[in-house]
Chain A
Amino acid sequence: MVIVGALGDRLNDEALLAGLGAGDAELAVAFVRRFQRIAFGVALAVTSDPVTAEDIAQQAFEQAWRHASVYDSRRGSVRAWLTTITHNLAIDFVRARSALPMDPDDLPVLLAAMTDSPERVAVANDSAEELRRALGRLPSPQARAVAMSGIYGMTARQVASTEGIPLGTAKTRIRDGMQKLRAAFLPEGAGDE
């Protein structure tokens, strides 16, 4: 048993991750508390199953603990790093299932949550906010294709099959949608869009 005080609340994300990596129980608790909703949210969105999502989120924290020393802040925030770890684990899981990773009827709900979340607005940086708005502005077919590929890891062929469209159309929707998102997220790096 370890008693948790306010120390963890005062430390930034990188310091908490360092504490987790060093096996410090108090800082590990603070790290889990700070990021558990994010990790579980990503896993739940992709798997749609709370039990599986919990296992994936736990695996994500275990991976963070194992690999804390190789985290590189120049490549992104701790939050982004943990989100990517969780997402990759969730994608691996849904790909191992034979069934489609998602119900197409659930997509509008997911996209609405991604584009209209007051809590998200409070924590996102300006670039992320631009991306959120750009996702909301995408034509529905492109937004659906981007979500299927970007969130559920579906191939263009799977998108085409799910949407009942030609493969070429699915690939175009993914490409065009992502180009618009990139132009909003990285306006300087995507000036040709």
Chain B
Amino acid sequence: MSEPNDMTCMELADVAAELALGVLTGRERAMAVAHLDDCDTCREDVRQFMATGEQLVELLPPAEPPAGFETRVLERLGLPVPVTQDAHSSPVSRRENNPRRRKSTRAAPPSRPGGTRPVGRMRRTLAAAAVGLAVIAAGLGGWRIGVGTSPSSATGPLTAASLLSVTQQSVGKVFVYSGTPSWLYMSVDDIESGQQAVTCQVIGTNGQVTTIGSFQLADGYGAWGSPDPENVGTLTGARLVSATGTVLATATFSH
């Protein structure tokens, strides 16, 4: 039974745009939000207005920030200041200059949930675990890393390879980053395995297969990542394995 203050769908339609733009206030807002709790149609209406409003903001013209902006952002995050060079970055120079590996007079960077700025081995391990939790959580949420690099290409510390099914069809992508910190991402874009838990395995130079984690596919889609996989620079491939041990797809890295 509706209350006297309940908002009807027609009344909601009048304020849906204001609600979506975040400019509806007071009692009207409270009533509108209460209405959405029980009305899928109006909720979709508001969602569409929200998407429109977000795209409207994207029409704002870009502007060149003041000189030094980039440097100040990186300092704010506690990251090394960049020096532009045409050549690829050198892992050695980055390691030598990484503030995580040397004493720094810079103010402590802001903390973030589940993350720290590690210095020592123990802190680094803890941070890796935190990143692991983050990427696993992202994987459960279906966060998929898009593919912007060419298949099976080695790009400095980053290697990307297509994940090929047994019929040699591309069903996803694997990224392996051997920089600091190293990480591996596996994204499955379309595989005929529906809803199931799958396992990510990596293959070393001697053919040794190591299981590094599992994630859930949803309608054939899913993604998963791992920080600091062992011997990341010498991996020759990775593969996706079903819960029953069947190899669903394989990726081969060309270093």
Contacts and interface: CB of A to CB of B under 8 A. Distances in A.
Interface stretch (B45-53, B197-205, B244-252): B45-53
B146 A73 contact: yes
A1 B85 CA distance: 12
A28 B57 contact: no
A53 to B, nearest CB: 8
Interface string A79-121: 1100110010001000000000000000000100111010110
A189 B177 CA distance: 40
Given A15-B145, A22-B181, A178 B49 contact: yes
A3 B90 contact: yes
B56 interface: yes
B4 interface: no
Contacts of A12: 146-149
Nearest to A28: B79
6 contacts: A4-B82, A36-B65, A45-B63, A69-B137, A72-B142, A150-B56
B230 interface: no
Contacts of B48: 182, 186, 189-190
Q: Decide if the interface of chain B is mainly helix, strand, loop or mixed.
A: mixed
A113 to B, nearest CB: 4
Contact of B66 (A50, A76, A186): A50
Contact of B85 (A3, A124, A127, A149): A3
B186 interface: no
A129 to B, nearest CB: 10
Interface bin, chain A: 35 or more
Highest count of chain A CB atoms <10 Å: which of B17, B55, B85:
B55
Interface in B94-119: 94, 97-98, 110, 112-115, 117
Interface of A: 1-7, 10-15, 18-19, 21-26, 28-29, 32-33, 36-42, 44-45, 50, 53-54, 57-58, 61-62, 65-67, 69-74, 76, 79-80, 83-84, 87, 91, 110, 113-115, 117, 119-120, 124, 127-128, 131-132, 135, 146, 149-151, 153-156, 171, 174-175, 177-179, 181-182, 185-186, 189-190
Interface of B: 14-18, 20-25, 44, 48-49, 51-66, 69-70, 72-74, 76-77, 79-90, 93-94, 97-98, 110, 112-115, 117, 127, 131, 134-135, 137-138, 141-149, 155-158, 175, 177, 179-181, 183, 185, 225, 227
Given A6-B86, A149-B21, 8 more contacts: A32-B73, A37-B63, A131-B55, A135-B56, A171-B18, A178-B17, A178-B49, A181-B56
